[in-house]
């Protein structure tokens, strides 16, 4: 059997252009995840996905970990069924959005200034739409993917995947048993290098780990008018201040070392020392900077319920992200910064990971991108954020981030994640659908 490569396959651009409407329809389905089970749930979006797959003759199964927390799983046979399957997945939930702070309604799916606006346009209904467009076009054309592809559209990623990827990996492992690699979000996006003929696409081959923490201080409850040296709120405030002001040192891994070396070679920019905000890499400053060191951000504070009572307890929630292989050092340092009289509790822990950036899967990503963009250069990087890939890693499935987007110069991609006025360029969506189609037929 002759195996086509990415450059030899000419996607039907008209057929794949439906990616814009697919993404628009998904954005209009409110799947806000409030972390407490009070949201609308992902069932309507899951049913939309299942219907679109059914239209293309692709059978799927709907599974629920809890009412309205719905996953969609499907399998597409490939040309070589003796190979392990590829898991391609995306999450259907989004973080909440307050319409009062947006230029457009966050669930309107409005197209303005060449962009599709709305919550999920980047995180990650864009990728869900690209997956749907690519596999629907495969079905229409009669083309088969290189190997079996397992599709999973999942709920609850934003809250840790307990009703989604973690539940699926635990309770329906049989659906994933023959998968050895997985592809999902936060990778494959571009940045232009001014003064060169190159365009860099960062592909996630590693990810930092997650430690969601609770810091709790205890003190003596009393009247707010009295002197006290045992104030829980003050003790906690000191811990939070020390943590927020701490400058974490640079911690390079094999992946981030290769990334920094490659970017220095291509641009002359030393991402470990230079102010990226003043360089062509400015749109990636936040993503790159956070990948090179631990991060611990206090996000929630709770203490007291009335102004004239000193509370006996105060607590802070901390979003911790640690560099691969260094979780013990990270937790020890947080505990030291919290100081005496402040307890630390791990609320949720997700392991970090590094995969092989030299493998054939990354090569296939590069070929797919170069076929659509001859200026493309792929550089592996470490994602500062975790994804559903982390839930599948214990099953022996290597996770990669490849949601391909050719972005306009200067587009602030990082700020779109969980940000106000989240949007994605329409042409970037179309590019991504074409690149993903090529990738699925050649990996």
Q: How far apart are the first and last CA of the chain?
A: 15
How is 181-222 classified by DSSP, letter by letter? EEEESS-SEEEE-TTSS-EEEEEEEEE-EEEEEEEEEE---E
Check if the beta carbon of residue 203 is closer than 8 Å to that of residue 378.
yes
Both tokens of residue 424?
Answer: 């994605």
Give domain status of residue 237, yes or no.
Answer: no
Tell me, yes or no, if 59 is annotated catalytic: no
Which residues contact residue 185 at a Cβ distance below 8 angstroms, ignoring those fewer than 6 apart? Answer: 90, 91, 123, 124, 127, 387, 401, 403
What is the DSSP-derived secondary structure letter of residue 408?
Answer: P
The pLDDT value given to residue 197: 72
Residue-wise burial string across 49-74, b where 16 or more C-beta atoms lie within 10 A, e elsewhere: bbebbeeeebebeebbbeebbbbbbb
The pairing of beta strand 423-425 with beta strand 353-354: unpaired
| C-beta atoms surrounding 265 within 10 Å | 10
* Ranges 1-5, 132-136, 234-238, 245-249: which has the least confidence: 1-5
1 domain residue, yes or no: no
* pTM score of the predicted model: 0.91
Element (H, E) at 47: helix 43-55
CA dist 166 → 80, 94, 172 (Å):
29, 17, 10
44 assigned to some structural domain: yes
- Of 344, 345, 341, the C-alpha closest to 235 is 341
Say how far residue 215 (Cα) sits from the centre of its chain. 26
- Residues recorded for the chain: 443
Q: Is residue 118 part of a domain?
A: yes
Residue pair 119/185 in contact (Cβ under 8 Å)? The answer is: no
Residue 13: what pLDDT? 64
Task: Say what the pLDDT of residue 409 is.
Answer: 86
Choice among 157, 158, 372, 442 that is catalytic:
157
Residue pLDDT, tens place only, 256-301? 999 999 999 988 889 998 888 888 888 788 888 999 999 999 999 9
Structure tokens at 128: 């869900």
Whether residue 2 is predicted with pLDDT greater than 50 in this model: the reply is no
Q: For 345-368, what is the HEC assignment?
A: EEEEEECCEECCCCCHHHHHHHHH
**Residue 218 located in a structural domain:** no
The rounded Cα 315 to chain-centroid distance in angstroms is: 28
Question: What's the CATH number where 21 sits?
Answer: 3.40.630.10
Mean pLDDT, rounded, for 229-249: 96
Q: What angle do CA 73, 128, 263 make, to 5 degrees?
A: 120
pLDDT value, residue 6: 52
157 is catalytic: yes
- The number of folded domains in the chain is 1
Q: What average pLDDT does this structure show over 402-431?
A: 94
Task: Give dist(CA 440, CA 367) in Å, integer.
Answer: 11
- Given the structure tokens 């457009």, which residue do they identify? 104
What mean pLDDT is predicted for residues 135-158?
A: 96
pLDDT-based confidence at 217, cuts 50/70/90?
Answer: very high
Full residue range of the structural domain in which residue 83 is found: 6-185+385-440
Of the candidates 18, 93, 192, 372, the residue annotated as catalytic is 93
74 belongs to a structural domain: yes
pLDDT tier for residue 12 given thresholds of 50, 70 and 90? low
Average pLDDT of the chain, as a whole number: 93
Residue 389 lies in a domain: yes
């Amino acid at each position: 059997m002759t195996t086509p490569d990415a450059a030899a396959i000419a996607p039907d651009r008209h057929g794949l252009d439906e990616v814009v409407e697919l993404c628009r329809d998904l954005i209009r389905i409110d799947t806000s995840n409030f972390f407490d089970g009070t949201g609308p749930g992902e069932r309507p979006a899951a049913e939309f996905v299942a219907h679109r797959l059914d239209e293309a003759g692709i059978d799927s199964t709907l599974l629920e970990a809890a009412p309205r927390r719905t996953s969609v799983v499907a399998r597409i046979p490939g040309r070589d069924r003796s190979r392990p399957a590829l898991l391609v997945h995306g999450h259907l939930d989004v973080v909440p959005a307050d319409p009062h702070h947006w230029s457009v309604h966050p669930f309107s799916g409005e197209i303005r200034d060449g962009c599709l606006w709305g919550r999920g346009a980047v995180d990650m209904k864009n990728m869900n739409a690209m997956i749907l467009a690519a596999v629907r076009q495969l079905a229409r054309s009669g083309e088969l993917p290189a190997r079996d592809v397992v599709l999973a559209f999942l709920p609850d990623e934003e809250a840790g995947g307990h009703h989604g990827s973690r539940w699926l990996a635990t309770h329906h492992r049989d659906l994933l048993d023959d998968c050895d690699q997985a592809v999902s979000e936060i990778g494959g996006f571009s940045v232009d290098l001014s003064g060169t003929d190159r365009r860099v696409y960062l592909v996630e081959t590693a990810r930092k780990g997650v430690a969601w923490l609770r810091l709790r201080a205890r003190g003596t409850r009393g009247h707010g008018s009295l002197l006290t040296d045992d104030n829980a709120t003050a003790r906690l405030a000191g811990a939070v201040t020390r943590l927020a002001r701490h400058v974490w040192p640079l911690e390079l891994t094999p992946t981030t070392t290769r990334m920094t070396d490659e970017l220095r070679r291509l641009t002359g920019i030393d991402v470990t020392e230079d102010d990226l905000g003043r360089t062509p890499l400015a749109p990636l400053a936040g993503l790159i900077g956070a990948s090179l060191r631990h991060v611990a951000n206090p996000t929630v504070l709770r203490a007291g319920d009335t102004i004239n009572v000193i509370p006996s307890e105060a607590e802070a929630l901390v979003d911790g992200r640690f560099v691969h292989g260094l979780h013990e050092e990270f937790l020890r340092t947080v505990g030291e910064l919290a100081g005496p009289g402040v307890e630390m509790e791990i609320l949720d822990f997700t392991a970090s990971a590094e995969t092989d950036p030299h493998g054939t899967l990354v090569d296939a990503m590069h070929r797919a991108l170069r076929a659509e963009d001859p200026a493309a250069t792929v550089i592996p990087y470490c994602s500062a954020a975790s994804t559903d890939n982390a839930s599948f890693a214990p099953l022996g499935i290597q996770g990669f981030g490849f949601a391909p987007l050719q972005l306009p110069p200067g587009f602030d991609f990082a700020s779109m994640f969980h940000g106000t006025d989240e949007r994605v360029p329409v042409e970037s969506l179309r590019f991504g659908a074409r690149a993903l189609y090529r990738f699925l037929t050649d990996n």
